[in-house]
Amino acid sequence: MKIGDAQGEDLPTRDAIARLILEHGPATASTLSQSLALTPAGIRRHLELLVADGILEAREPRTSSARGRGRPSKVFLMTDAGRAQFEHTYDDLAVSALRFMASHSGAHLVASFAQSRADDIEVKANEYINQNRTTRKNDKAALLAEFLTDQGYAASVEDRGLGEEICQHHCPIAHVASAYPQLCEAETQAFSRLLGTHVQRLATIAHGDGVCTTYIPQLTTTAGKAQ
């Protein structure tokens, strides 16, 4: 990835910062400083330039901590423009192929393709979960997130009130899924079958949201974590 028109010697550092945020989600300057072993002042300089280039966006934290004094640190997250620079080269070809399929053979074939892809994800994810669940407290949501991360989705699990959310901070097929939402719909159904409960897709990168989020009710997380 090449970021903006910044000076050549700074590009590797900015690439590293952008990829860290892409793969692990929104982060503060302090967190990035520790992860990359750079001074806070140096990190902030790079962040300012990445924001100016439209690669990152600075936001106030969703919740403020009672610990410490002063204003909570801003968090930096990837913009749609920044995420687009990480997309796969073959996205346009994939969209063209699906468009050709739909126009010449019928939209039902696109749905069939989406279902076939979701079935493949389900088989591989189920195998991963079964191989690792005995050593990971039987937490299906966490294991699914690990599998998705291995597939390039940079996924994590977060507690959300009476349930959990699987957050996918990157989507390798976002450009394709924005044109064909059947891919997201079939993927969500696969998650539901894998986790053994109804899940709800709250947001998708393909529809312009910053992160794909899938809500899992407490029934699954409680059962999954029980010994």
pLDDT at 99: 86
Its pTM stands at: 0.63
pLDDT category at 176 given cuts 50, 70, 90 is confident
| Token pair 């959300």: residue | 160
For residue 200, count other CB atoms closer than 10 A to its CB. Answer: 14
Burial of 219 (0-12, 13-18, 19+ CB in 10 A): middle
| 7 pLDDT tier (thresholds 50, 70, 90) | very low
Q: Which pLDDT score is estimated for 185?
A: 95
Contact 136, 208 (CB under 8 A): no
- What domains sit in the chain, N to C, each tagged with a CATH number? 8-84 (1.10.10.10), 91-225 (3.30.1380)
pLDDT 10s digits, 34-88: 989 899 899 999 999 999 999 899 987 655 444 455 566 788 988 877 877 765 5
pLDDT value at position 171?
Answer: 83
Checking if the pLDDT of 123 tops 90, the result is: yes
pLDDT at 220 over 90: no
Q: According to the model, what pLDDT value does residue 108 have?
A: 87
